Amino acid sequence: MRILGVEGTAWAASAAVYDVNTDSVFIETDAYQPESGGIHPREAAEHMSDAIPAVIETALSNADGPIDAVAFSRGPGLGPCLRIVGTAARALSQSLDVSLIGVNHMVAHLEIGRQQSGFDSPICLNASGANAHVLGYRNGRYRVLGETMDTGVGNAIDKFTRHVGWSHPGGPKVEEAAKDGEYIELPYVVKGMDFSFSGIMSAAKQAVDSGEAIEDVCFSLQENIFAMLTEVAERALSLTGRDELVLGGGVGQNARLREMLEEMCDQRGAKFYAPEPRFLRDNAGMIAVLGKEMLDAGDTTPVADSAIDSNYRPDQVAVSWRTDREEVFRNVGEREIRGAEATVSIGSERVTKRRAVKSYRHPELDARLRKERTTLEARLTSDARRAGVPTPVVYDVDPTEASIEFEHVGESDLREELTASRVRDVGRHLGTMHREGIVHGDPTTRNVRCAGGDTPPNERANDSRESDRTFFIDFGLGYYSDDVEDYAMDLHVFNQSLVGTSDVADELWREFESAYVETGDEQVVTQLREIEGRGRYQ
């Protein structure tokens, strides 16, 4: 069996033949290279139109036998480029009289790593030009656990390199310049499971303009951006209880990023896999390999339903080729829990949280984050409690050692005891915090603790703190703000967390929203809709 794959989401016109009999993949790629600046959609489409016939012809000439199916990248990507690839794939499938298979480009990045690594159900960090997100499989779909809130990681780096007059692609040039650099302070923006690159890009441009050595700026860009990606990947491993991580996307070719991810996984006792470079950058080989899996599952695409989708998100794909179901990870009864940021030692009455040194981060950056987050976490936890939100009492804080001693609250994490009434409590508590100008920063189902039972509000003992069903913990990514968008990001993080841990996330989310507006501002929910509709994967 042989599958022809055709890729053309943006800059790479690519065709490949996956020969199942020999387990070999031949890939032919003709990359668009702009004369100046970044990718120009019209020029990219013109290149795609010229290059696709030639790369397909080369791929077919290297096929050792007939083609059994044609797979193509259906999205996400640049619409003009996708339409050219879709037209070519439809014509080929009809002329060869074989099945047509529309593939999600982002899922293909994940699947090539999963299949080549032999991992069971890994978390995937996708770091490419127009995209940056963390995915995990749960019950028939790849769920987006974290994502960029503005621009893709590769595009962000390219914006900086265009500012300094370097040609596209900018990533390899930054990597080379960084070899001679030293660390300078730049913004570091992680919001729960998400990240943002606009602030650090602006600061990097300003640093160069103000006379900082470009080598130092490039070094610090890499250190901060890749540490942000690594931190969120570790948070996803912690949230889901997985111990396998795969890397996808063209930025994954960067040696420093791979080094950080591998070091983080070593510290956690997790496994890490990065495909060879030809499968990291945009390529038709991954399209062909996933096409074969979809063909075996009977998941083909009728020509009449094969329209491209430039905003095709990975969580829209029904994963037909996998039949396993992921259950909620449980850690009930553990006396020491290792999270993404810290180790928590649990006693009968007190809990000690110690922020671990993250060796993958630059020492200056790591020391600053550990100290700042420890100090702010203690303050926010106490302030939220004074506002009426159930949180643990803070007994002791040591910013130098990055440790906090808390009261022990609850009996289990919310992810282990998800009910509609508890989720409504979370909505009301978040609304109260936002009304007081407090952003939690990481309100996942692991950072809410549950007391015993699920007592209705009208049956709770008025004088018993333990009668409350939910307690907010881990304000380590929190901050003070009066910005509606920051409050909406809290809601976004909780929603993603529900999707990653519950089979009935939509139902629970409706309960959450209705409860949130009881104490919070309905404008925040409106802003959340705007955030979710921005179409970051274009």
Sheet-wide strand order for 2-7: 24-31, 12-19, 2-7, 69-75, 99-104
Active centre residues (catalytic): 442
For 12, residues 6+ apart whose C-beta sits below 8 A from its C-beta are 29, 30, 31, 32, 281, 282, 283
In three-state form (DSSP H/G/I as H, E/B as E, the rest C), the secondary structure along 3-64 is EEEEECCCCEEEEEEEECCCCEEEEEEEECCCCCCCCCHHHHHHHHHHHHHHHHHHHHHCCC
Neighbours of 350 (CB within 10 A): 15
Bridge partners (DSSP) listed for residue 245: 123, 272
Q: What is the DSSP letter of 460?
A: S
Local structure of 208: helix, strand or coil: helix
Using CA atoms, how far apart are residues 38 and 155, in angstroms rounded to an integer? Answer: 9
208 phi-psi bin (left φ>0, alpha ψ -120 to 50, beta other):
alpha
The pairing of beta strand 342-346 with beta strand 350-355? antiparallel
Using CA atoms, how far apart are residues 83 and 406, in angstroms rounded to an integer? Answer: 57
Residue 63 sits at the vertex; the CA angle it makes with 61 and 68, to the nearest 5 degrees, is 120
Q: Is the preceding peptide bond at 169 cis, omega within 30 degrees of 0?
A: yes
Using CA atoms, how far apart are residues 127 and 518, in angstroms rounded to an integer? Answer: 39
**Residue written as tokens 């070094």?**
219
Neighbours of 36 (CB within 10 A): 9
For 288, residues 6+ apart whose C-beta sits below 8 A from its C-beta are 3, 4, 5, 16, 17, 18, 25, 71
Using CA atoms, how far apart are residues 34 and 101, in angstroms rounded to an integer? Answer: 30
116 phi-psi bin (left φ>0, alpha ψ -120 to 50, beta other):
alpha
